[in-house]
Amino acid sequence: MSLINRQLRLKSRPEGLVKREDFDLQQQPVPELKDGEFLVRVLYLSMDPTNRVWMSDIPQYMPPVAIGEVMRALGLGRVVASKSPHYAEGDLVQGLMNWQDYAVIDDRRRKDYVKLPPQLSVPLPTLLGACGMSGVTAYYGLTDIAPVQPGETLVVSAAAGSVGSIAGQIGKLRGARVVGIAGGADKCRYVVDELGFDAAVDYKDENWKKALADATPDGVHVNFENVGGPVMRGVLSRMVNGGRVALCGLIANYSSGSRPSDDYSVIIVKRLSVRGFLVFDYADTNKAVLDLAGWVQSGRIKAEETIEDGLENAPVVLNKLFDGSHRGKLLLRVANDD
């Protein structure tokens, strides 16, 4: 059987939103496996703000994707062939799958891949969302980086998104008053009515700053931040003295194309602790994944995904992260698991 692998390779660095023409769609046969390699059929790709960062030649925590390289992305797939003693046909694997149909992986890199235990009775998309990098990011942000305490007020930006929706629900589990910031009345209703946040603020409403003040009468103790820009400035201005910020993303800066105009002054004025973090720094995320899967199974955390189809659509699907037209985790289905 000769399998054809479609790959999206970076052709030019996007400015602002991503265009189909920024990528080349190439087709080539899947190469013969060497000893120690295994072949994964990619099922779902995780669409994350960090993908947009990886496309840009700016200082970042990993090298940017080079021109001509297959676009880097997390994903989930099933092993369809193996010359590795560590992987067998049928194993479910999570890790860097990249924008392609098939990934050939050398098992010497297996520490970068998670073989998912078969007994996790959570749907595959949820494994990439609430129980994947997004949920784990929320988990460490509020348990390790800026542990929120009962009775404190937590503000979560991008509250209807993949990370924010889980962060807010973890805040509730920890006994905090949770205020979400989201774009539009629908998303605001969603985080309050369906996810159980105490209040939501629509940043597209011109009076959002007053709404934020009304929703945070005691100020803000913890800000779980993954947006940045004017929304973050508004939240920081509501922080109590000595407040803590778990900073995991600055999506407002990633595709704006303009120079950030953040201001460190508020960190002094409010005596804040601002801690940046990356989920990749946590070597063993098993406890987080098991806790999250348990909460999902018991209904204490609601997981939602927005699923789009077709590898060839990856560049334009990614833009949905920035135009606010999705809810929960944004995923691309590359193939059905059958």
Binder among 6, 275, 300, 320 for a copy of itself (CB under 8 A): 275
Strand-pair partners of 26? 7
177-182 and 199-202 strand pairing:
parallel
- Closest contact distance (angstroms) between CB of 112 and a copy of itself is 18
As a whole number of angstroms, the distance between CA 271 and CA 147 comes to 17
Of the candidate residues 22, 262, 308, 312, the single one contacting a copy of itself (CB under 8 A)? 262
CA 331 to chain centre: 10
Q: Which of residues 74, 81, 272, 314 is near a copy of itself by CB under 8 A?
A: 272
Radius of gyration of the chain (CA): 20
Which helix or strand (DSSP H or E) is residue 13 part of?
none
> Which of 34, 61, 90, 175 is close enough to bind a copy of itself by CB under 8 A?
61
Among 303, 142, 302, CA closest to 223: 142
d(CA 51, CA 65): 9
In terms of CB distance, is 48 or 101 closer to a copy of itself?
Answer: 48
**Interstrand relation of 102-106 and 37-46 (parallel, antiparallel or unpaired):** antiparallel
Nearest distance, CB of residue 261 and a copy of itself, angstroms: 5
Site for a copy of itself in 276-295 (CB under 8 A): 276-278, 281
- Beta strand residue intervals within 15-129, DSSP E: 23-29, 37-46, 74-82, 92-96, 102-106, 114-115
With CB under 8 A as the contact rule, the residue among 106, 144, 186, 263 that binds a copy of itself is 263
Q: Is the Cβ of residue 2 or residue 241 nearer to a copy of itself in the bound state?
A: 241
Question: Can you read off the two tokens belonging to residue 78?
Answer: 């099933």
CB of 64 to a copy of itself, least distance (A): 12
Minimum gap (Å) between residue 248 Cβ and a copy of itself: 7
For the chain, the first-to-last Cα distance in angstroms comes to 17
Question: Residues 222-251 vs a copy of itself: string with x where CB under 8 A?
Answer: ------x---x----x---x-----xxxx-
Number of shown-chain residues binding a copy of itself (CB under 8 A): 33
Stretch that binds a copy of itself, among 67-75, 106-114, 200-208, 266-274 (CB under 8 A): 266-274
Q: Out of 119, 121, 261, 336, point to the residue binding a copy of itself (CB under 8 A).
A: 261
Task: For residue 239, give the H/E element and its range.
Answer: strand 239-247
Q: Which part of the chain contacts a copy of itself (CB under 8 A), choosing from 96-104, 152-160, 187-195, 262-270?
A: 262-270
Residue number with CB closer to a copy of itself (84 or 285): 285
Cα four-point dihedral sign 210, 211, 214, 217: negative
**If binding is defined by CB under 8 A, does position 269 make contact with a copy of itself?**
yes
**Residue 271's CB: how many other CB atoms inside 10 A?**
12
Residue 50: both structure tokens together:
């960090």
Residues found near a copy of itself in the complex (CB under 8 A)? 59-61, 228, 232, 237, 241, 247-250, 253, 259-278, 281
